[in-house]
Amino acid sequence: MKLDGEYSCAAYVFKASNFVMNTNIFRGGYSIKDQHATHFLTFTVCGWIDLFTRKIYKDILVESFQFCQKEKGLILHAYVIMSNHIHLLARAKESFWLSDIIRDFKKFTHNQMMPVIQSEVESRRLWMLHQFKYYGNRNSKNENYQIWTNNNHPEECITPDFTQIKLKYIHENPVRAGIVYNPEDYMYSSASNYAGLKGILDVEFI
pLDDT at 33: 93
Q: Which CATH number fits the domain 31-194, given the four candidates 3.30.450.20, 3.30.70.1290, 1.10.600.10, 1.25.40.10?
A: 3.30.70.1290
**With bands split at pLDDT 50, 70 and 90, how would you rate the model's confidence at 142?**
confident
Query: Does position 15 have pLDDT exceeding 50, yes or no?
Result: no
User: What's the whole-model pTM score?
Assistant: 0.84
Residue 81's region, left for phi above 0, alpha for psi from -120 to 50, else beta, is beta
**With bands split at pLDDT 50, 70 and 90, how would you rate the model's confidence at 53?**
very high
SS3 3: coil
Instruction: Express each pLDDT in 109-129 by its tens digit.
Output: 999 999 999 998 888 999 999
Distance, CA of 121 to CA of 70 (rounded, Å):
30
Instruction: Express each pLDDT in 165-205 by its tens digit.
Output: 999 999 999 999 999 999 999 999 999 999 999 999 999 99
Query: Does position 132 have pLDDT exceeding 60, yes or no?
Result: yes
